[in-house]
Amino acid sequence: MKRAMYIPSIVTAILFGLASALVQGQPLTNPVNEKERAVLFPSTRMINQGRDVAEAACAGCHGMDGISDHNGTPQLAGQRAVYLYRVQQAFQDGSRPDETNKHKGFINDEAVLAVSAYYASLAAVVQPETPLSAEQADELNEDPFMVIRDAMTKCVKCHGETGNADGSGMPSLSAQHPDYFVASMKGYLDGSRSHKLMKKLAGNLDEATIRDMGVFYAVQEPLRTQTQGQGDANVGQRLSQGCQSCHGVDGNANKADMPSLAGQDAKYFVKAMKQYRDGKRQHEKMFEAAEKFNEQDLLDLATYYAAQEPIKRDVRAPLKSTEWIARCARCHGIDGNSSDPRFPMLAGQDEDYLKKTLKAYSAGGRDTTTMHAMADPLSAMDIERIAAYFASQQPKAVVYIQLPCQD
C-alpha cells in the first residue's frame, strides 16, 4: 500500500469490543456501533456533505481546514472520527457544557456524522505551532520534589536524607502520614509543641512546602531506628495494649492524623511521653495515656516500639511529567496519537485548549469519570508541562482497515 509522503500515519486494524472492556459504561467510551462505523469508512458523498455543513456552520471558528488560529479553539483536522461525533452528541444532550452555544440543536444526526467524517479526513497541522524548547524538554524529566530540595537540605543533619534519623533523640519522619507531619509542624508554630529550633525552621516555610515535605518523607522507605531502648520489650508490649486503638497493633497507625510509633527512636519516644505528661506538649488524649506510667514503663514501651518494623504509609508518590505522559498513552496513543477512534488525539492540539480542558477535568467541570480520575492529581505545573508537550507533538493521521468478517 502506498502512503502519502507528507502525512505521517498510523495504520490500525479495527478490533472493537476488546479495547472497550477497559472503560465501559460511559457513553464516550462505549464500543463503536454500526452507525458510527460509517464515519470510519466514509463515502465521497458523505465527505462532501460534511464539507457543506462545515462551510455553513463551523468554518468561522474551526476553519475549512479544521485548523483554528484562535488560541483556545480546538483543532479538528485529523481528529478521531468517532470522538468528533460523540462529542457533538454530548454537546447536544448537554452532558458536555458548551460555552459557545454553537454546537447545539440546529444540525441533525446525519449532518453531525458527515461533518465528523469531513474533519477527521483532513490532514492535521504539519508543523506544530509551539515546538518544545530544550529547557521544557528537560523539565518533563524533573524530579517532582525539585522545588523543595533546597529547603530540605536543612533537615538532613538531624532527620537524615530520607527522614530516617540516626542520631539518638531525633525523631524519624519517614513512617508518618503527611497530615500528621503538617499538624506537627503547625504545633511548633502555635505553641502546642515546644522546640525553639523546630519553631524557627517551620516558621520559614510556606504551607505548600510543608505539605510537599510531608509527602516526600511519607513515600520514603522507613527504617527501624538504630537507637533501641534499654528496657524490656515484652513488658512494653503488654503496656501497649491501650495504645493499639490509635497507634495500631504493632505501632503502625492507619489513620492519617495518628503518628506511627513502630521503629521510632527510643530516646525521642520517652521524651515525647514526658512532655505530654508535664504539659509541654499539649494533647489531652496523650496526657491521659502518658499520665499513669513511671520512668521504667516508658522505657519498656519505647524499647518495644523501637524494635517494631515500620511500614510505609499508603501515599501516592508524585510523578514526573514523563511518567504521567506514559500513562496517557494507554488511551491517547504514543505521543498523543490515539489509534482508537473513540479516544481523542492530543498531538498538535491547541495548547491553551489543552490547558483549559485539563483544568476543567481537574475541577470536575467537564465531567467524565475516566478523565477526571486521570487529571485529579495533576498539579498546576503538571498541567502546564503536559499541555506544552502534547501541543508540540507531530499529529499523525490514522488509516483504518476493515478486517475480513469471521462469520
Binding residues among 52-81 for ligand HEC as defined by CB under 6 A: 57-58, 60-62, 73-74, 76
What CA–CA distance (Å, rounded) separates 362 from 220? 27
> Cell 530540605, residue?
152
Residue 311: name the closest of 165, 176, 126, 201 by CA: 176
User: Nearest distance from residue 127's CB to ligand HEC, in Å?
Assistant: 20
CB of 400 to ligand HEC, least distance (A): 18
Rule CB under 6 A: say whether 299 interacts with ligand HEC: no
The distance of closest approach from Cβ of residue 332 to ligand HEC in the complex, given in angstroms and rounded to an integer, is 5
Q: Stretches 13-21, 120-128, 170-178, 398-406: which one binds ligand HEC (CB under 6 A)?
A: 170-178
CA dihedral in degrees (258, 263, 265, 266; nearest 10)? 100
Distance CA 23, CA 300 (A): 53
Among 51, 159, 224, 313, binds ligand HEC (CB under 6 A): 159
Q: Which residue has the cell 452532558?
A: 95
332 touches ligand HEC (CB under 6 A)? yes
Nearer to ligand HEC by Cβ, of 10 and 107: the residue is 107
Cell numbers that stand for 112 in this block: 453531525
Question: How close are the terminal C-alpha atoms of the chain, in Å?
Answer: 26
Instruction: Tell me if 355 contacts ligand HEC by CB under 6 A.
Output: no
Dihedral pair phi/psi, residue 335, rounded to 5°:
55, 25
Q: Smallest distance, Å, CB 301 to ligand HEC?
A: 5
- 87 within 8 A of 27, measured Cβ to Cβ: no
> Binding to ligand HEC by residue 370, rule CB under 6 A?
yes
Assess 233 for contact with ligand HEC (CB under 6 A).
no
Give residues 116-135 in contact with ligand HEC (rule: CB under 6 A): none
249 binds ligand HEC (CB under 6 A): no
**Cα(163)–Cα(176) distance, rounded to whole angstroms?**
10
Mark 281-312 as b/e (b = at least 16 C-beta within 10 Å): bebeebeebbeebeeebbbbbbbbbbbbebbe
Q: Please give the Cα distance from 390 to 106 (Å, whole number).
A: 33
Output the smallest distance, CB 406 to ligand HEC, in A: 27
Amino acid at 244: Q
Please report, as residue ranges, which positions from 253 to 272 form the binding site for ligand HEC (by CB under 6 A): 258-259, 261, 269, 271-272
Candidate list 161, 278, 327, 380; residue touching ligand HEC; CB under 6 A: 327
Least distance to ligand HEC, CB of residue 290, Å? 7
- Which residues are CB-neighbours of 393 under 8 A, at least 6 positions away? 128, 335, 336, 337, 346, 347, 348
Q: Quick check: 187 binds ligand HEC (CB under 6 A)? A: yes
The reply on whether position 186 binds ligand HEC by CB under 6 A is no
Residue 146's identity, in one-letter code, is M
Q: Which is nearer to ligand HEC, 64 or 258 (CB)?
A: 258
Applying CB under 6 A, among 125, 233, 243, 397 the residue interacting with ligand HEC is: 243
Residues 277-296 that bind ligand HEC (CB under 6 A): 281, 283, 285-286, 289
User: What is the size of the binding site for ligand HEC (CB under 6 A)?
Assistant: 74
Distance of closest approach, residue 97 Cβ to ligand HEC, in angstroms: 7
The least CB distance from residue 228 to ligand HEC, in Å, is 15
Angle at 337 between CA 404 and CA 58, to 5 degrees: 95
304 binds ligand HEC (CB under 6 A): no
Nearer of residues 26 and 402 to ligand HEC, judged by Cβ: 26
Q: Going by C-beta distance under 8 Å and a sequence separation of 6 or more, which residues neighbour residue 286?
A: 276
User: Which residues between 198 and 217 bind ligand HEC (CB under 6 A)?
Assistant: 198, 201, 213
385, 389, 390, 391 alpha-carbon torsion, rounded to 10°: 100
